[in-house]
Structure 1
Amino acid sequence: MLRVHFTAEDLFNVTFASEPLPLVELAMAVVACQRTDESAVFGRWRARVGRDLPRTAGPLLDLLRPDGQNPQFVEPFARSLEEGRAAVREAGPLLTAEGLDRAAARAPGSASWLRALWGQDREAWRALDDAITAAYEVVVAPHWTRIRQSFRADVAWRTRLLAAHGIKACLASTHPAAGWSGTVFEVGVAPAYEVRLDGRGLLLMPSPFWTGRPLLAEGPAGRPLLMYAALTPLPLVGPGAAEGALDALLGRTRAAVLQLLVEQRTTSELARDLDISLPSVSEHTRTLRAAGLITTERDGKAVLHSATGLGVDLLHSGG
């Protein structure tokens, strides 16, 4: 379980990142292409990335594993690819033997190149730099506009949620297993990790690639950072401008699901009315439920969904 202890000062010092960061999103994309969850949303995207990702990107797959608990030096908080590449190179002399042991134990193949990397071998560092550039050109650069659209829509939604219902509702909506015990934010999913903010506050950063529980890391200037799955993952962000505010926030199909749920419907009825698969409906309703926009209940074998007051309010505000 993830447990984050807040003081009163911390609760007043929760803010959102101002923009997505290229190498952070690259790391999340490399992780996402190796995960197997949420296949209804990410399945086709993963297949496409598997075809398009060049072999030169291979070193990143050794460093960045599917659980997201990865060496932070590969995902610096830089505002451009070039700035990020420089930050990665500058981190070389700071790598520790303990870090090598962790990376080597998690790598799917031979750890020999990782030992060369930690040993400051020039060829190993060149291979890592080439891997970052090659992967970025495939999974991030062509989709940067959509990445920013997902990021901004999520921040806009949670800022509204924060203003209307407070910080506890805002953070609890980041994952289905998230909640509060007093002033401790908890996510009931392994692995176990506990941190005390001690007045440093918290920086929130949504990612359209991440699909797991919120990740806690040391952010800019040593401030704790919580990365969580954006409400609209990248595969659901349209290639062009959204037709309305609600489509921009949720994605066209998920917005349509919420609109239909002004009246109670079953999973099968949603699949029929929207001409999508049952697994797709389940993925959409799970995310909408986690955000507090719908409720779900069982009636015998049927699963019934309906919009909450918050969901209806969002529909009204989104036109």
Structure 2
Amino acid sequence: MHFTAEDLFNVTFAAEPLPLVETAMALVAAQRTDEQAVFGRWRLRVGRELPGAVRPLLDLLRPDGQNPQFVEPFAPDLEEGLAAVREAGARLTPEQLRTAAARAPGGPGWLRALWGGDRDAWELLDGAIRSAYEAVVVPQWPRIRQSFRADVAWRTRLLAAHGIKACLAGTHPAARWSGTVLEFDRPPAYEVLLGGRGLTLMPSPFWTGRPLLAEGPDGPDGAYLLIYPALTPLPLVETGAGGGALDALLGRTRAALLQALVGQRTTSELARDLDISLPSVSEHTRTLRAAGLITTRRDGKAVLHAATGLGVDLLRSGG
């Protein structure tokens, strides 16, 4: 992504998570195979509980996240979102159909009917989106908002303390700056000139891949939208009242782990001191390291972790 000075001045955060965007991200996450330590059990549960009515939607929403945007409108509620999906029908192109049909695991028949304006096909899509939203998103909406708001609060602080480049580079471990160009070393390869339109940041507790760039809610004249993995993915969001702001952001276990790393610790020492498994320590330290809160280095057979200055600063501000 090529930034101009105007773009860097116009980086903002979305006000709230959007129901149908999170519905789409949840269905995508359910089909992915990465981050199994975090999402594995959640995927198994969703696979068992997902209503059959949702299945046609999986022809459109594939695991790589490069999906037709009309099924994930930037609408504040379900009904407005479904209306936006139906309105988009008149603007679907043959090229979009070819792309969707080539990616769909099922046959292209119902997709052709959908693009052709067939009433039954559109009712099938409407029911699939509604069923997915009610089954996967509605029960988790408080936790989705908690993850979203905690990430925005964290990145706002990161922005204030270390600037916009650190804030944007922290959206993914593969992100790096080359002058005023932000690069993500992950496929597919493409290039975007923001051209003064700016960028809106939207963390998703379901998305696990590299950040996704899309046309924002204001279309070609508005800011681009960057959807990226929230610091705390949904399966790690604590239920019920947390012990403080830091617990709400990181979860109690990771907050305790970060606190322990004010002094240098090995992976084994962390597992012993926090009474958690070695794989769990590795997963939590990976997330904290990706957020720039800890560093990790190898010393012989031992793996040593320690809080960064940013991590200590966060601990201090969180009490």
Classify the TM-score, shorter chain. Answer: over 0.9
- CA-to-partner distance for each residue in 1:183-227, whole Å, 9 max, x for gaps? 001111111021001100100000000001111010111221111
1:79 and 2:90 matched: no
Query: Please, which of 185, 201, 204 is the counterpart of residue 204 of structure 1?
Result: 201
Partner of 1:24 in structure 2?
21
Cα separation, 1, equivalents of 2:116 and 2:278: 51
Contact 1:22 1:140 (C-alpha < 8 Å) held by counterparts: yes
SS where residue 21 of structure 2 aligns? helix
Distance 1:198 1:119 in 2: 35
CA distance in 2, matches of 1:123, 1:279: 48
Determine the C-alpha separation between the residues in 2 that align with 1:314 and 1:274.
20
**Whole-Å Cα distance in 2 between the matches of residues 280 and 109 of structure 1?**
37
2:179 maps to what in 1? Answer: 182
The 3-state SS of whatever aligns with 1:243 is coil
- Bigger Cα displacement from structure 2, 70-79 vs 243-252: 243-252
Amino acid at match of 2:229: A
Give the equivalent residue in structure 2 for 1:259. Answer: 259
C-alpha distance in 2 between matches for 1:273 and 1:106: 47
Structure 1: distance between partners of 2:282 and 2:57:
32
1:50 equivalent in structure 2? 47
- Decide which of 92, 96, 120 is 2:93's aligned counterpart: 96
C-alpha offsets along residues 136-171 of structure 1, whole Å, 9 cap, x if unaligned?
111100111110010000000000000110000001
Pairing 1:274–2:274 present: yes
What is the Cα deviation at residue 60 of structure 1?
Answer: 1.4
Shift in Å, 1:306: 0.6
Residue in structure 1 matched with residue 112 of structure 2 by the alignment: 115
Residues of 1 paired with 2:146 and 2:133: CA distance?
A: 18
How many angstroms apart in 2 are the aligned matches of 1:304 and 1:154?
Answer: 26
**C-alpha separation in 2, matches of 1:252 and 1:212:** 24
From 66, 71, 81, give the equivalent of 1:69: 66
Letter in structure 2 aligned against 1:162: L
Mark the runs of 5 or more structure 2 residues left unpaired by the alignment. none
Counterpart of 1:212 in structure 2: which amino acid? G
| Deviation of the 1:273 alpha carbon | 2.6
**Structure 1 residue 301 displacement after superposition:** 2.2
Distance in 2 (CA, whole Å) between partners of 1:145 and 1:19 is 12
Match of 1:10 in 2: 7
Say which SS state the counterpart of residue 177 (structure 2) adopts. Answer: strand
Deviation, structure 1 residue 316: 1.0
**1:172 corresponds to:** 169
The answer as to 2:293 corresponding to 1:296 is no
2:318 partner letter: G
Q: Please name the residue that 2:155 is paired with.
A: 158
Letter in 2 for 1:43: G
What is the 5 A alignment of 1:128-167? Answer: 128-167=125-164
User: Deviation digits for residues 59-87 of structure 1, max 9, x if unmatched?
Assistant: 11111000100000000000001111111
- Residue 256 of structure 1 deviates from its aligned partner by 1.6
- Cα distance in structure 2, aligned partners of 1:93 and 1:279: 50
* 8 Å CA contact retained: 1:293, 1:308: yes
Q: In the TM superposition, what is the alpha-carbon distance from 1:282 to its structure 2 partner?
A: 2.1
1:312 Cα deviation after fit: 0.6
For residues 76 and 192 of structure 1, the distance between their equivalents in structure 2, rounded to whole angstroms, comes to 24
Work out whether residues 285 and 294 of structure 1, in 8 Å CA contact, stay in contact via their aligned partners in 2: yes
Q: Aligned partners of 2:124 and 2:218: how far apart in 1?
A: 29
Aligned-residue offset at 1:272: 2.8
Which letter does structure 2 place at the counterpart of 1:11? L
Cα displacement (A) at 1:32? 0.4
How far apart, in 1, do the equivalents of 2:277 and 2:105 lie?
34
Give the distance between the partners of 2:278 and 2:116, measured in 1 at CA.
Answer: 51
**Contact 1:41 1:280 (C-alpha < 8 Å) held by counterparts:** no
Structure 2 residue 224 is the aligned partner of structure 1 residue 217: no
Alignment pair present for 1:40 and 2:42: no
Amino acid across the alignment from 2:303:
V
Q: Please say if 1:287 is aligned against 2:287.
A: yes
Deviation at 1:109, TM superposition (A): 1.7
- Secondary structure at 1:175 match in 2: coil
| Cα distance in structure 1, aligned partners of 2:70 and 2:104 | 16
TM-score (norm 2): 0.97
For 1:273 and 1:101, how far apart are their aligned partners in 2?
55
Q: Secondary structure at the match of 2:191?
A: strand
Alpha-carbon RMSD across the aligned residues, in angstroms, is 1.0
Distance (Å, rounded) in 2 between the aligned partners of 1:36 and 1:273 = 31
CA distance in 2, matches of 1:94, 1:104: 17
